[in-house]
């Protein structure tokens, strides 16, 4: 039986930019960075957002645009706070 979600991995072109997005918007805590080494297929960083682990790996974007996405649930009362964080990063 599945106990829950272990982690989500995103392939990103710029690890540092995505790290800034995760920490700046979601208050993510970086828990691991491979640095210049590659233990799987690419450089990577792991973050914890609440109880969710998010991994980002350096790589190319998908060759075609898709509707793949993750939707995070927030309280209605926090909407403007998160909207301001997103705008502050120029997204």
Active site residues: 44
Distance CA 3, CA 67 (A): 26
8 contact partners, CB below 8 Å, separation of at least 6: 52, 53, 54, 55, 70
Distance CA 77, CA 21 (A): 21
Answer for the pair 56, 10: CB distance below 8 angstroms, yes or no.
Answer: yes
């Amino acid at each position: 039986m599945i106990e829950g979600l272990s982690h989500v991995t995103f392939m990103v072109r710029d690890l540092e930019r995505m790290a800034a997005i995760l920490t700046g918007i979601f208050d993510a805590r970086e828990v691991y960075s491979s640095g210049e080494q590659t233990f799987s297929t690419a450089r990577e960083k792991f973050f914890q957002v609440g109880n969710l682990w998010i991994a980002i790996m350096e790589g190319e974007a998908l060759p075609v645009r898709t509707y793949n996405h993750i939707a995070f649930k927030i309280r209605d009362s926090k909407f403007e706070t998160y909207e301001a964080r997103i705008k502050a990063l120029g997204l």
